[in-house]
Amino acid sequence: MKTALIKYNAGNVRSVMISLEKLGAKVILTDKPEEILSADKVIFPGVGHAESAMNYLKDKQLDKVILSVKSPFLGICLGMQLLCKFSEEGNTDCLGIFDVIVRKFPPATLEKVPHMGWNKLTPVNSGRENILLKSMPQDEFFYFVHGYYAEQNPYSTADCRYILPFSAMLQKDNFFAAQFHPEKSGKAGEMLLTNFLSL
């Protein structure tokens, strides 16, 4: 089984690769369309700026490749936001898999922006099972680092609250997404990645 980690203009890719390899996954870091489309699983990680990342994807025609993936696909942090329709970061048109707007956190008097640290998820009772949280103990904490957030929407499978409620996880067809970093979320993150690899 091969897991393709999409290589693009974003950071934090190496830590995701290390986490997957610790779980026994065979991982390739690639921007080659044929390797991405033939992989059993595809992960789209990242920390960075939405506009520059989207420009890189378009230059490499990876935007079209991502839209064509039929295997289970997981977007993480910036990867989740780029799967949405539009981001206020650079006023960027994104991939549009999720018809969702990514907005900048408003300034707050008590909480700092970006949202950085550990927070809990609230499962969304949408009639769909969140299979990435299967067998996950309640009240687990996950690690977040982001200044922009996806609005709550019909694709949400888990929400979170920081300044305001936002979507922490999304799912549509074979596309899954997490705003937090499972690779930095200890045992809970390992369980989530294990659930994804077992799809």
The letter for the amino acid at 36 is I
Residue 152: per-residue pLDDT: 96
Structure confidence at residue 126 (pLDDT): 66
pLDDT at 127: 66
**What does the domain layout of the chain look like in residue ranges?**
2-197
Q: Show Cβ contacts of residue 153 under 8 Å, excluding neighbours closer than 6 positions.
A: 98, 99, 100, 167, 170
The secondary structure of residue 92, as a DSSP letter, is E
Catalytic center residues? 77, 181, 183
Q: Which two tokens stand for residue 87?
A: 């981001």
Neighbours of 38 (CB within 10 A): 12
- With pLDDT > 90 as the criterion, what percentage of the chain qualifies? 87
Give me the pLDDT at residue 146, please. Answer: 97
pLDDT tens digits for 144-196? Answer: 999 999 999 999 999 999 999 999 999 999 999 999 999 999 999 999 999 99
Helix (H) or strand (E) holding 145: strand 141-146
pLDDT of amino acid 129: 78
Q: For residues 175 and 149, what is the distance between their CA atoms, to the nearest angstrom? A: 18
| Beta strands at 164-172 and 156-162: parallel, antiparallel or unpaired | antiparallel
Output the pTM of the full model.
Answer: 0.96
Look at residue 197 in the predicted model and tell me its pLDDT: 98
CATH topology (fold) of 2-197: Rossmann fold (3.40.50)
Most distant CA atoms of the chain, gap in Å: 48
State which residues of the chain have pLDDT below 70.
126-127
